[in-house]
Structure 1
Amino acid sequence: MYTTNRRSFLKVMAVAASAPSLAVTSHSARAAEFTLRYANNLPSAHPMNVRAKEMAARVASESKGRVEIQIFPNNQLGSDTDTLSQLRSGAVDFFTLSPLILGTFIPAAQISGIGFAFNDYNNVWAAMDGELGAHVRKQIGATSIFAFEKIWNGGFRQITTGAKPIAQARDLQGVKLRVPPSPLWTSMFKDFGAAPASVNFAEVYSALQTHVVEGQENPLSIIYTAKLYEVQKFCSLTNHMWDGFWFLGNKESFGRLSPELQTIVRNAINDAGTKQREDVVQLDQTLRAKLESTGLTFNEVDKASFRQQLQAAGFYAEWQKKFGPQAWALLEKYSGKLG
C-alpha cells in the first residue's frame, strides 16, 4: 500500500489551504491540443485536490503537453447537481461525485452507502475494487458518462451538532440535520427519527452558521478542511457509512483522445486515486486532536442502537427491494448479512 510521509503531506496541505480559490491548471510550454475541465466540490486543501494537482502535472508531462487538465475545486462551476448536468452534457469533462448523490441519476450507484455496511477499509476496498464496484461502474457506463476504475476516498462519516451530542439513535429524534441531495441519505436519517434537509455542500457552512440546520454529517477530513468545526460544537463518532467519490468522465469528450492519451489519463487518475485513499486514512488519524484543539467535543456512540433502529424501521428491507436481489447479494458478499 502507498504510504506518504505525513510531515511533508501536511505541509502540502497547509500550502494548499492558503492558496487562492482559483482553478488549478497544469501549464505546458505550448498550447495543449486537448484542454479538459475537472470539477469537484472539495476545498483546495483536501487530499483530493492535492493529488489531483499532481495528476494534472503528470498528464501534462507524459502527454508532452498535448493534454492539459484544469482543476476547479470547491464547487466553482456550480452545485453538485448542476455540475453533474454539465458533465452529462460535456460542458465539464471530469467530475468527482459521491455515489449517493450520483444516485439521483443512477439509482444503483447508491448501494455502497448503505448504513453500517462496511466495518473498515479492508471491507471497503475489497467491495469497491471487486464485484460490487464493477457492478456499479457497469450501470454508470450505460449512460453518457463513465467511472474510472479506482474510486477515491471520502472516508467514514461522523455526525456533528451544535446543541447536543448524539450518543444513541434516539438522540437524533427531531434533529434538523443537513444531508446531501440523495434519496438514500434522506431515507436513512428519517428512519433514525431525524428531520433531514438536503443542502448542497457549498451551502453547508452558512446553513449551520445561520441555524437553518442544527447539524450535519461528513468525514473528519471534510469537517476539518471545510472548517465546519467553526459552526459546530459536538462530533459523534458514528461511522454510520463509508462514502467515496467516483471519478467520472464524459464519454464523448474522453473518446476524442487517442488510445495512447486515454491510457496516460486513465493511469494518472487511477494512481492518484489510490494515493488519495491512503492520504485520507492518514489525515483522519491526526484530525481528532486537531479538531479537539479548536473546541470540538468528541464522543463515542452505541453503534448497535443505530443498526437496530434501521432494522426496526425496515430500512434494509426497503433498500434490498429497491436494489434487487443480485446487487444486494454482491453487497452482502463483502458486508455480511444486513437487516
Structure 2
Amino acid sequence: MGKGAAWLVLASLLLAPVSDVTAKPASAAKPKETSAKEEIAARKQLYEKISMMTGVSWQRLAAIDQYERSMSKAKPKARPQLGETVGVFIEEEKWVGPLNPDTEDHTPLSIKWFNGIGRDGDGNGIVERTNDTDLLYSIVSKIAQYGLSEDDFAIGVWEYYHNHRAVKRIKQFTDIYTAFGKLNLYEHAFPLPVGDYYSYRSTWGTGRSWGGYRIHEGTDIFAPYGVPVRSTCYGIVEVKGWNPYGGWRLGIRDLNNYYHYYAHLQGYDKKLKIGDVVKPGQVVGWVGSSGYGKPGTQGKFPPHLHYGVYRDRGLVEWAFDPYPLLRSWEVAEQRRLRAKK
C-alpha cells in the first residue's frame, strides 16, 4: 500500500465515530441463576477488590451499593437493574458525558473527554454500563476524589447526590456493616417475644381523631405493660424520645432503607442511644401506653405497641402496611423455636 492510500485509511479511521472503531462488548449470555449466598459472596469479593484499588473500605463500598439498591427498589421503573449483582444505577447521559454524541460510547478516553463518570474498573479497555466492576468503581471514584476522611468522604457523597438523606444513609449503612463485619444482615424477628400473651390484626388505614383526623399508619400489637419490645432487624437507632402522638418512641433504620417505628413505649433500654447499632431480637424497650399529650402522658388507651414501617424514596418517606411482614416474621420465628425443641 502506498503512502497516499495509507493516509486515506488513517484519516477515515480518525474521522469515523468513536463507536465505529471501538470494539463493542459482546452481548452477554443469559446469566445463570445464583443463590442468595453465592450473590453475597460475589458482592463481598467485588467490594474487597475495589477497596484495594481505591483505598475505600469495603464497608463504605457496601453502603454505597446498598443505598443505590434501596433507591432502585423504591423506584424500579426509573432505575432498572444494570449490573448482575451490584445495585448501582447511573443515567446514560451521566455515564458517557452530557455532550457526548455517542450515547453508547465504551471508550475510556472519549468518555473522560466529555466529562462522563464511566470508568474502566476491570482493566479490559472497555467502559461498560452493565459491568458490575465498572459501575461500582465509577461511582466510588467520583465520590472518593474529595478524600477518604469521614468529613471529606461525606462531602463527596453530597457532591454526587446533592441530598442530605443520602449522606446520612450511607454513613448509617457503613456503621452497620462495620459493627457486624459481614454482608448477610437481613434476618428479622417479631417485635415481641413470640408467645400467646399478645394479639394483633391489620389496623392499617383506620381513622384516628386525636390531634386531628388522620389514618393509622401501622399495626397495633396489644400486650401487657412491661412486655419486652425487640428490634425486628439489623439496624441503627435513628430517633429516640417523646412524640405527642407516639409517646416514648424509637426509630430504627435498616439496610433496606426501611424506618421501623416503635411507639407508646413504657421506657427504653437505658444503655440505648441514637447511633447505636442493634440486631434482631435485641430488647430496645417495653410495651406501654404513653402518648397523646405532653411528655409523660400515660394511660389514655390500653397498653400496646404501635409498629410502623416507612420506606425512604430519596427525598420523602412513605408508610406501608407492616402486617404482612409481622405475620411472616412471627411464623418464621415460631418455626425456628419448634426446630430447637
Shorter-normalised TM-score: what interval? under 0.3
The structure carrying a bigger helix percent of its residues is 1
Give the TM-score normalised by structure 2: 0.22
Give the TM-score normalised by structure 1: 0.22
Larger RCO: 1 or 2 (CA < 8 Å, sep 6+): 1
